[in-house]
Structure 1
Amino acid sequence: MKIKNIARKMLTPKPSEFVSAQTDIFLKRLKPRPFVTDYIRGVYDNNVKPNVTDDTVTLSVLTDTHAKALASASYYGINGARHIIEANNVSDAVHLDLNVHLGDLIDGSDKPEISRGLLQFAVENYQRSKAPYYILEGNHDENDKYDEHRFFGSASFHRDDYDSLVTKYNFEQPEIHRLNPVSKVGWYDKKDIRIIFIDTSDIPYILSNGSKKYDFKKVRGVREQQLEDLTAILEKTIDKHVVMMGHANIISPSGRSALNFNGDLVQRLLVAFNNKDSGQLKNELTGDFGVNLRYDFSSTGISKVTTYICGHMHYEKNYKVSEINHIILNCSALMGKKHGLTTDYNKKWDRRYNEISELAGYFINIDPNKLRLQIFGYGAATRYVSFEI
């Protein structure tokens, strides 16, 4: 009851700076719950640790935490931020290689000063962790849900808000690389393994009479510059086992684009890389999402992209298209059984506040010697699945 009262007071309309300060105070009161961290640590010790060697890469992965400045016992709320704290607490204790958040850190439905505070809080928690981290941008992370619900005629987030609060800190870490200071493609290497991160919310920030031309929440895509950077990175990827990660799924099981723009082109590029092809990647569009570029993957040795991992859909699924595994992970945010927007997948878990089912997260172990990628889920997640790489 005390937490609910604090949240209720915090959401009472006040001057922006005071609301932001209240949010900051509220977030700083969040602590990891021992029953949760003990449980996650047990999953690691019993299931993951036996597979960890100097040659493998082991990741802690969360997605779709949808943090809101609200104490909710049935759906999205501040519990999303707590899930980050708890996952990173265990990551520190067991010395993982990398922490990854696949996007939708926030729900994007709070006042802009509150949403910025939630983003900042999450990044600061990752920064305090011992392992390097990478946070991908989700379609909710530009706060468009707030604008949409209030029919605002202006954008609540400025052009550089997300980049200045989140993206730039990814690349201040020596373990995380990109081609140039503005590239949206990042990568992480350990021995024979390369993990490449792409931005599936690569949408131009264009204003018309104060409103955005594109709604970031509803539109997902990848633009030519990002595909060009990805091509350059892949052309220089020699004898590596490559795993790709993004927020949203790029193609459907039938091979059709699952993004509004150019998801199929990403898949075509990865297939060309695996086949050591040279050629041209082009679509029929012009303007913001037109693509016309060349590639040459003839000198990449035994390198192969075997897997693309994402979140966004709020369920679990995996399928193979052109010999590439596409894996969708469940959302960490609480989705109570009786909430109207809860997916059928999460209704089956009957997720409940302050129980293990409240959260969902994963450890991923990539083993180049056994040619195997293993996913160990906890909370509202499948306990184990394995893929060949």
Structure 2
Amino acid sequence: MNIKNFAKKVLNPKPSEFISTQTDNFLRRLKPRPFAVDYINNVYKNNVKSHITDNTLTMSVLTDTHAKAIASASYYGINGVRHVIESNTVSDDNNIDLNVHLGDLIDGSDKPEISRGLLRFVVENYQNSKSPFYIIEGNHDENDKYDEHRFISSASFRRDDYDTLVTKADFEQSKIFRLNPVSKVGWFDKGDIRVIFLNTSDIPYILNNGSKKYDFKKVRGIREQQLEDLIAVLENTVDKYVVVMGHANIISPSGRSALNFNGDLIQQIFVAFNNKTLGQVKNQLTGDFGVDLRYDFSATGISKVTTYICGHMHYEKYYKVAGINHIILNCSALMGKKHGLTTDYNKKWDRRYNEISELSGYFINIDPDKLRLQIFGYGAATRYVSFEI
């Protein structure tokens, strides 16, 4: 079945099991394209490899692939799945330390059985790769875009769908840690470097007459339990350079919260950690997003939160607030210049299907000896930028 026929079949009104089977069968026939693998491999070998030592940590990072069960040569579609396959193929060839997806793995606008199939397939691709991985939840990954567009009265994803398909796989790996079986905060260590993963779509799944109280696509936030776990992880982080990764940007360049709930509190915790202080983090809210916690970072040695890295915005931007680097990476999803939702950043790249501009991804190298974090972009991404840590 070619990609056009596939698109016609999965979009026809067929029984759910048939649609899911058709999707899975097609996805399993996708292969990495030689031009993409060769190109990414050359970026790694020519630009990244010389910076790798036993002490550095090197990540392959994608974000916002927005995979959809549709054949599109100019916008979101199956190309998002291809980007994951091709990126992981290069990681396997080069023994990358860690593969990271910063969220919005799917667009969340397909029928629920198709979206679950896309999530399942991409997670399996990460599981079958040699490197450990971490997939962060994005605001599209609960399929609320489908609910919005069809004005349906019931949630298309069940409460545990995403956790069962994705989160469970993250934490089944021996090199990915969390405090307890329900914590949403994960971390990965290599030598003097610790990478912490946050869920900026930490929204309660509450149904009112079958529909969700909160639209996961529109609402971004972090609740008290996750902040408490973050504090606990940081209190036990001694003599490490810390990089934190999430889906959405937590604060603006002016320092104001960029999340609907509690982005500024995360930044407060980072600053308190860097200052080795003890104290309290609190907001004026009650209910689902109220926070009142204490912390003590006085025994963390020379540890420092150096950087927060995210996606979500579909452009690149870098800024520093209170000595902490905030880095926004461009979307891996194809965004053709003639689409209304395409950002100006991606219009300037004039991204085209089956050309290198279709891709957008990054290698991130963290060097604790040179106190440097380097980002090597490919496709529709800045080729090189370096930050002090």
User: Which band: TM-score by shorter chain?
Assistant: over 0.9
For residue 320 of structure 1, what is the aligned residue in structure 2? Answer: 320
For residue 370 of structure 2, what is the aligned residue in structure 1? Answer: 370
Instruction: Normalising by structure 1, report the TM-score.
Output: 0.99
- Matches of 1:176 and 1:6, distance apart in 2: 36
For residue 176 of structure 1, what is the aligned residue in structure 2? Answer: 176
- Matches of 2:33 and 2:106, distance apart in 1: 21
Shift of 1:5: 1.9
1:133 aligned partner, one-letter code: F
Describe the SS at the equivalent of 2:196. Answer: strand
For residue 209 of structure 1, what is the aligned residue in structure 2? Answer: 209
For residue 360 of structure 1, what is the aligned residue in structure 2? Answer: 360
For residue 163 of structure 1, what is the aligned residue in structure 2? Answer: 163
- Matches of 2:64 and 2:122, distance apart in 1: 13
Identity of aligned residues (%): 81
Per-residue CA deviation, residues 120-164 of structure 1 (Å, 9 max, x unaligned), is 001000000000000000000000000000001000000000000
> Is 1:127 aligned to residue 127 of structure 2?
yes
For residue 61 of structure 1, what is the aligned residue in structure 2? Answer: 61
1:101-112 correspondence to structure 2 within 5 Å: 101-112=101-112
- Unaligned regions of 5+ residues in structure 2, if any? none
Shift of 1:107: 0.1
Per-residue CA deviation, residues 91-138 of structure 1 (Å, 9 max, x unaligned), is 000000000000000000000000000000010000000000000000
Shift of 1:2: 3.3
- Matches of 1:86 and 1:226, distance apart in 2: 33
For residue 150 of structure 1, what is the aligned residue in structure 2? Answer: 150
> Is 1:99 aligned to residue 99 of structure 2?
yes
1:332 aligned partner, one-letter code: S
- Unaligned regions of 5+ residues in structure 1, if any? none
Describe the SS at the equivalent of 2:60. Answer: strand
Per-residue CA deviation, residues 283-325 of structure 1 (Å, 9 max, x unaligned), is 0000000000100000000000010000000000000000000
Shift of 1:22: 0.4
Instruction: Normalising by structure 2, report the TM-score.
Output: 0.99
For residue 11 of structure 1, what is the aligned residue in structure 2? Answer: 11
- Matches of 2:218 and 2:350, distance apart in 1: 27
Shift of 1:10: 2.2
Per-residue CA deviation, residues 317-337 of structure 1 (Å, 9 max, x unaligned), is 000000000000000000001
- Matches of 1:3 and 1:176, distance apart in 2: 36
Runs of 4+ displaced beyond 3 Å? none
For residue 33 of structure 2, what is the aligned residue in structure 1? Answer: 33
- Matches of 1:55 and 1:76, distance apart in 2: 38
Per-residue CA deviation, residues 1-40 of structure 1 (Å, 9 max, x unaligned), is 9321222122111000000000001111111000000000
1:306-317 correspondence to structure 2 within 5 Å: 306-317=306-317
1:145 aligned partner, one-letter code: K
Describe the SS at the equivalent of 1:200. Answer: coil
For residue 190 of structure 2, what is the aligned residue in structure 1? Answer: 190
- Matches of 2:206 and 2:3, distance apart in 1: 39
- Matches of 1:334 and 1:229, distance apart in 2: 35
Shift of 1:195: 0.2
> Is 1:383 aligned to residue 383 of structure 2?
yes
- Matches of 2:31 and 2:87, distance apart in 1: 12
